[in-house]
Amino acid sequence: MQINGVQIEDTYAEAFDMRATRMIITGPDATWAMHAAQAMTGFATSVIGCGCEAGIETTLAPGQTPDGRHGVSVLMFAVSSKELGKQVSNRVGQAVLTAPGSAIYAGLEGERRIPMGKQLRYFGDGYQISKVIDGVRYWRVPVMDGEFLVQEDTGMAAAVGGGNLIFLARSQEQALRAAEDAVAAMRRLPNVIMPFPGGVVRSGSKVGSRYKALMASTNDAYCPTLRGVSERSQLGPEVGAVLEIVVNGLTPEDVSSAMRAGAGAIADRGADGGVLKITAGNYGGKLGRHHFHLREILA
């Protein structure tokens, strides 16, 4: 299968089950809402070393938020409900409670709940008060610029992490331009994030390492400098750079839609734009039960 001269490899992206929540952060203006959201989702690229994967889903106008202020919707993913709860509590406490003028609300409903303000209220040192509105409990915690308003808990849902696209290009610049197009297309869709810097990862990994302490290591099959060294190399002499986009979504359909949009944007660059092949990372079906076949997605 080829699109605009770009080869679409007959393979699939292997993704796995995660737990996720959405939170709505608001601020006195769009700038300060974004400051809190960026701090909260920082250092959250991979559960391998960060505990969670998080990112900004979209910005919200005042008419779209619970308190009528500017807001940002963020999604957070973790491997278990316990870890997700831990990450939410830590990150809200460190990054949203501390941000001037901020407030935070649940952006996901559901019977399964994880604490958000339930523990952070104790920062109020006994001066905190709660208010129940339409059956929902909120906490008002006194802080130096007024008060921090936080909903007691947020909903949790089953989710999918690890959808991915890997693409080969003639040069690093051409690969990066294709990546930017793909991330822009994917970010137009709801319910997904691309957690790596700018949505793109250059340090794609394989499972395992020759060093026993590491659970993952560099994907030597796609490292151009190892083309003549690694027996696993999948690169021809014309490939100068390889990049990857990882996508997490609330449902398999969300991940599939994002991969379709991203792969389509990459293919639109075409062979004339330096893109040679689109492939994906899988582990022989051993990592996750969600398999996103590229040719089916792009058919």
What pLDDT band is residue 262 in, cutting at 50, 70 and 90?
very high
Does position 112 have pLDDT exceeding 90, yes or no? yes
Summarised one tens digit per residue, pLDDT across range 60-77 is 999 999 999 999 999 999
Average confidence (pLDDT) over 117-124: 96
Using alpha carbons only, how large is the chain's radius of gyration in Å? 21
pLDDT at 271: 96
Evaluate whether 248 touches 163 at the Cβ level (below 8 Å): yes
pLDDT at 79: 96
Which one-letter amino acid corresponds to residue 120? L
| Domain regions of the chain by residue span | 2-14+160-297, 18-157
Q: What are residue 269's DSSP bridge partners?
A: none
Euclidean distance between CA atoms 282 and 219, whole angstroms: 12
Q: What are residue 169's DSSP bridge partners?
A: 241, 275
What pLDDT band is residue 270 in, cutting at 50, 70 and 90?
very high
Average confidence (pLDDT) over 255-271: 97
Summarised one tens digit per residue, pLDDT across range 230-258 is 999 999 999 999 999 999 999 999 999 99
Q: Could you give the angle at the alpha carbon of 112 between the alpha carbons of 107 and 114, nearest 5°?
A: 65
Euclidean distance between CA atoms 37 and 179, whole angstroms: 23
Evaluate whether 20 touches 44 at the Cβ level (below 8 Å): no
Average confidence (pLDDT) over 73-82: 97
Prediction pTM value: 0.94
Euclidean distance between CA atoms 192 and 83, whole angstroms: 20
Q: What is the DSSP string of 200-227?
A: -BS--EEE--SSTT-SEEE-GGG-GGGT
Do 2-14+160-297 and 18-157 come out as alike in CATH topology?
A: yes
User: Can you state the percent helix, strand and coil of the chain, rounding each to 5?
Assistant: 30, 35, 35
Using the 8-state DSSP alphabet, how is residue 61 labeled? -
Q: How confident is the prediction for the chain on average, in pLDDT?
A: 96
Phi, psi of 200 (to 5 degrees): -125, 145
Q: What are residue 245's DSSP bridge partners?
A: 165
Tokens of 145: 């610029």
Euclidean distance between CA atoms 143 and 121, whole angstroms: 11
Does position 142 have pLDDT exceeding 80, yes or no? yes
Average confidence (pLDDT) over 181-187: 98
Q: Return the CATH number of 2-14+160-297, one of 3.30.70.520, 3.40.605.10, 3.30.70.360, 3.40.50.2300.
A: 3.30.70.520
Summarised one tens digit per residue, pLDDT across range 191-203 is 999 999 999 999 9
Which overall architecture, per CATH, does domain 18-157 show? 2-Layer Sandwich (3.30)
The strand pair at 146-151 and 103-106 is best described as parallel
Does position 205 have pLDDT exceeding 80, yes or no? yes
Euclidean distance between CA atoms 89 and 122, whole angstroms: 12
Evaluate whether 153 touches 117 at the Cβ level (below 8 Å): yes
What pLDDT band is residue 273 in, cutting at 50, 70 and 90?
very high
